[in-house]
Amino acid sequence: MNPINLTIFNEFVHERKNEAVQKVYPNGMHEAIAAHMRLQPGISVRCATLDMPEHGLNEDVLAATDVLIWWGHMAHDTVADAVVEKVHARVLDGMGLIVLHSGHMSKIFRKLMGTSCSLCWREAGERERLWIVNPSHPVSQGLGPFIELPHAEMYGEFFDIPDPDELLFISWFEGGDVFRSGATWHRGKGKVLYFRPGHETYPIFYNPDILQVLVNAVRWAPFSGSPNVTTITACPQITEPLEPLRPAT
């Protein structure tokens, strides 16, 4: 069986600007996630950051990527539109995409959703509990009935996203809010997961349950559908009908 080719994109800005972040993620959040992924059988890991040429996401990399994890926050606007277009096309063509936390405002996520992806937020280190509401889904494998995070940034409704194809997790927050924290959509031949947890100053990406979700998601997200259906061609004309037409009258 071929390994799953995973690329982890992190804008990697907070970690180099802010000491508090550096302490939690000395090599960047991508490396925290990558370290865990490298321990999993059948997953091959590559990292990409904003400062690389084409943000580390050139055509060859994208073509060879089965699943792309995306973390961004303060530098969304710096991501080149040309790269966003290529990532978008690759998702429609079957690449899985896992968008984490503040990635909800990334260009690629907003382009795939078609909405503002706006939400409410508060940074007060409050308790979060993610309840599983779709226990049949592979992304919840080995978990449940909930995941608890002692300290988290709050994201609250209304979260302006299209109705998910599958709603996986709903978060409860100490301060009185709720949030649709895990949701999937398919776009073309690609699968998309939004997963809420993952702030730069809380050690969320060391939490075993969160890592379990990410591993599950990486195993779920690769293309496994119909290769003979095209999704990104510009409206092919089919001159010859499959069935005979009535003679013109």
Give CA–CA dist 180/131, Å, rounded: 10
Counting contacts by CB under 8 A, is residue 52 touching its own copies? no
Closest by CA to 153, choosing from 114, 112, 104, 193, is: 104
According to CB under 8 A, which residues from 124 to 143 bind its own copies? 124-127, 129, 131-138, 140-143
User: Nearer to its own copies by C-beta: 35 or 212?
Assistant: 212
User: Nearer to its own copies by C-beta: 35 or 209?
Assistant: 209
Give the residue, chosen from 15, 31, 177, 200, that forms a contact with its own copies under the rule CB under 8 A: 177
Counting contacts by CB under 8 A, is residue 214 touching its own copies? no
Give the interface segment with its own copies, choosing from 20-28, 52-60, 66-74, 163-171 (CB under 8 A): 163-171
3-state secondary structure 81-119: HHHHHHHHHHHHCCCEEEEEHHHHHCHHHHHHHCCCCCC
Closest by CA to 181, choosing from 201, 216, 142, 153, is: 153
Compute the least distance from the CB of residue 109 to its own copies, in Å.
9
Residue 224 tokens, joined:
């496994």
Give the residue, chosen from 56, 182, 190, 197, that forms a contact with its own copies under the rule CB under 8 A: 190
Q: What is the DSSP secondary-structure string of 22-72?
A: HHH-TT-HHHHHHHHHHTSTTEEEEEEETTSGGGG--HHHHHT-SEEEEE-
Closest by CA to 12, choosing from 79, 82, 95, is: 79
User: Nearer to its own copies by C-beta: 131 or 206?
Assistant: 131
Counting contacts by CB under 8 A, is residue 113 touching its own copies? yes
Closest by CA to 211, choosing from 91, 61, 38, is: 38
According to CB under 8 A, which residues from 71 to 110 bind its own copies? 92, 94, 105
Counting contacts by CB under 8 A, is residue 191 touching its own copies? yes
Half-sphere exposure of 86 (CA within 13 A, CB side): 18
Give the residue, chosen from 18, 172, 201, 206, that forms a contact with its own copies under the rule CB under 8 A: 172
Give the residue, chosen from 3, 26, 42, 175, that forms a contact with its own copies under the rule CB under 8 A: 175
Compute the least distance from the CB of residue 135 to its own copies, in Å.
4
User: Nearer to its own copies by C-beta: 30 or 196?
Assistant: 196
Compute the least distance from the CB of residue 52 to its own copies, in Å.
26
User: Nearer to its own copies by C-beta: 19 or 243?
Assistant: 243
Give the residue, chosen from 170, 214, 217, 218, that forms a contact with its own copies under the rule CB under 8 A: 170
Residue 149 tokens, joined:
């995070």
